[in-house]
Chain A
């Protein structure tokens, strides 16, 4: 398998936002290590700093402390090298462009506007054939997210960052896209970080599931997932799959409980 992604090493990262008069500490001592071509899933309670962490790795924001390194390059250098693909919680499509021109936007931005064949392939991949000429307002929420995913993939990035890209999808489509995501990842070997709220989803697609604490967020548990690939839907019924889901779920609850405990101690 061709592994052409970049490794990601995040060490001791902190990020604090000014909000109104006060401050919000989103991340403190956040660490994560994704090997080249690895697939990590990030899971944690709402508001714990998952999106913040992903934006830092994407070079869209800078940490207040700590370092992020990708094979000797900083996130900003990776971003400037146009080696990153991102799909956010909010699909952020250009409302005046069609499905296919929205996907093509990424190609235009990296100076490969004539690569139209890959656009058609991706439209098929995310199941939007027949909607090439539709505008975002004419699509359902889930369809918009699929366009955003296609856009993040079309440039064949070395690092793929997905922030709850399947949030607005029904369970069936979601499973379909998880299969597709796995297939693309296996074929291309892109380093991938997926933020999700769904534990089974994380366990199904990732090599490793990282569980975060409530804000200020940091990684409090690592779960290596070593099911054989390609993973199929039969895995969803397997006992060892459920055991993993239980384990991740337990550490997520522990991490939430911890802070409740801490807050109780404070008062």
Chain B
């Protein structure tokens, strides 16, 4: 087994999976809409080739525009945050809030501004790439060598010169790592934008196919999305290796949380500044686009709807009741995904040939926007609560697996030598080396997975399950009940931000113990 080249092994595994899939679809699942045999999927693609390619092209174009605008905005704001450190926390809060938005419910609100055309998917696509690119760019600017910065300063030049001459150049590897993740994210944003209505594109095609239970079509779309998104990921990765071959591989999903300054006043500022900034943006958004009061809800409208209006109690019970369901199914999937990922990473690190056979597949799956394949999972698992859990589990599983395995693989050789010199067994290796070295990557992945899990859950609920806050939002959307829609978006975003913060706080405390000096 150890001598088979990895490519051959992966190809063999791929073929085996396809064969099993074909077999299952033709036997156990024959006659059901759950699973299409790969051969029929291929046939369907060629039969409706024009339709597929037209819509694929449309979504790809949308994603490309979103990719462009979102990344430009993120890099520009990261630049501002780097040159003017006072603004850092506020800009970071905006970026995080954007990352925590339930995109699927934001789409109808955006559509009020952009009209029925392509504006909403492009905007969502831009929003979807914003956070990771912002984090990556800022990390890149921060990694500029202090000595080089000192040289610029010693010539009496200011921060701007340091930024232009040193930081911008130093940021290229991290920036490319960010853009790499942004490629599938942009595609995800575009397709999610199309889910809620568009003239063409893979998103709307999926929704129609889901309504008609056109199984093959859903599979074709999922595969096409995967190919394009993964293609973008790989092309940018190759570009990165070509541009900066010296730079080590970096995954933005594994970057540790930023450390907070000590002191009560700083803590208060850390808490208040983002809230104020978000409120200012909220009002600015309503004011700039002059949205009609029927559609536009201010933070106070949301508050009134939840606590002071006549039917506030009713709204509360429906929104928070549904939120409870969503949080329950989501946390189940989230925890299952994380635990599964760590266990799989341990298995991979202990059984190298298994890793060589399966890891390339996991890396490919890590790069695909799982949300885009939600309809496939809906078909397969059904429309129950389990669907949400399954989607969230799959979404948190792959990035965590890839990041944790990479971390375990970087266990210092010296530590492994010490263990080996005492003839330590697998269990001792896992306990004393692999698990502890993977902790920072696990926590970083767990933090990033909070908003993405909630996003996946709401998409699944919106499209399929009829449970949870996603369902509340889709009903509000069809009834033009903008009060409930805004309330849900606000509550969900707040929950995601709080979840992110909680994991970040836990991460920082743990890193101090487990990997001192790892946090930024």
Contacts and interface: CB of A to CB of B under 8 A. Distances in A.
Is this pair of chains taken from one and the same complex? Answer: yes
A94 interface: yes
B266 interface: no
Contacts of A58: 417, 421
B156 interface: no
A79 B421 contact: yes
Nearest to B423: A80
Interface in A34-77: 55, 58-60
Interface in A110-159: 110, 135, 137-138, 151, 155
A60 B432 contact: no
B436 A110 contact: no
B516 A82 contact: no
B418 interface: yes
A9 to B, nearest CB: 20
B417 A88 contact: yes
B421 A94 contact: no
Contact of A137 (B420, B423, B428, B516): B516
A94 B432 contact: yes
A104 to B, nearest CB: 11
A60 B417 contact: yes
A155 B412 contact: no
Contacts of B4: none
B517 A92 contact: no
Contacts of B423: 79-82, 109
Contacts of A135: 513, 516
B263 interface: no
A105 interface: yes
A100 to B, nearest CB: 15
B181 to A, nearest CB: 28
B516 A138 contact: yes
Contacts of B172: none
A109 B516 contact: no
Contacts of B439: 96
Contacts, number: 63
A137 B513 CA distance: 10
B37 to A, nearest CB: 46
A95 interface: yes
Contacts of A155: 422
B514 to A, nearest CB: 4
Contacts of A60: 417, 420-421
Interface residues of A, number: 28
Contact of B514 (A85, A88, A95): A95
Contact of A92 (B412, B422, B514): B412
A246 interface: no
B261 to A, nearest CB: 20
A81 B423 CA distance: 8
A77 B421 CA distance: 11
B424 interface: yes
Interface in A80-101: 80-82, 84-86, 88, 90-92, 94-96
Interface in B414-440: 414-415, 417-424, 428, 432-433, 436, 439
B515 interface: yes
A205 interface: no
Interface residues of B, number: 21
A86 B418 contact: yes
A91 B436 CA distance: 18
Given A137-B516, A138-B516, A92 B414 contact: yes
Nearest to B421: A86
B415 A94 contact: yes
A137 B418 contact: no
A45 to B, nearest CB: 23
B514 A109 contact: no
A212 B428 CA distance: 36
Given A92-B414, A94-B436, A109 B419 contact: yes
Contacts of A55: 417
A73 to B, nearest CB: 13
B136 to A, nearest CB: 26
A109 B417 contact: no
Given A95-B514, A96-B436, A138-B516, A109 B424 contact: yes
B516 A95 contact: yes
B166 to A, nearest CB: 28
B440 to A, nearest CB: 10
B243 to A, nearest CB: 22
A261 B145 CA distance: 42
A86 B417 contact: yes
Contacts of A210: none
Given A94-B415, A96-B436, A105-B432, A79 B515 contact: no
Most A C-beta atoms less than 10 A away, residue of B418, B419, B514, B515: B418
Contacts of A92: 412, 414-415, 417-418
Given A88-B414, A90-B414, A95 B515 contact: yes
Interface string A192-220: 00000000000000000000000000000
Contacts of A59: 421
Contacts of A109: 419, 422-424, 428, 432
A106 interface: yes
Contacts of A90: 412, 414
Contacts of B433: 94
Contacts of B414: 88, 90-92
B420 A79 contact: yes
Contacts of A95: 514-516
A99 to B, nearest CB: 14
Contacts of A88: 414, 417-418
Contacts of A85: 421
B432 A84 contact: no
Given A59-B421, A96-B436, A106-B422, 20 more contacts: A55-B417, A60-B420, A79-B420, A79-B421, A79-B422, A79-B423, A84-B421, A85-B421, A88-B418, A90-B412, A92-B417, A92-B418, A95-B514, A95-B515, A96-B513, A105-B432, A106-B418, A109-B423, A137-B517, A151-B418
10 shortest interchain CB distances as A-B pairs: A92-B414, A137-B516, A109-B422, A96-B514, A80-B423, A90-B414, A86-B421, A109-B424, A96-B436, A92-B415
Interface of A: 55, 58-60, 79-82, 84-86, 88, 90-92, 94-96, 105-106, 108-110, 135, 137-138, 151, 155
6 contacts: A60-B421, A91-B414, A95-B516, A106-B422, A109-B419, A109-B428
Interface of B: 412, 414-415, 417-424, 428, 432-433, 436, 439, 513-517
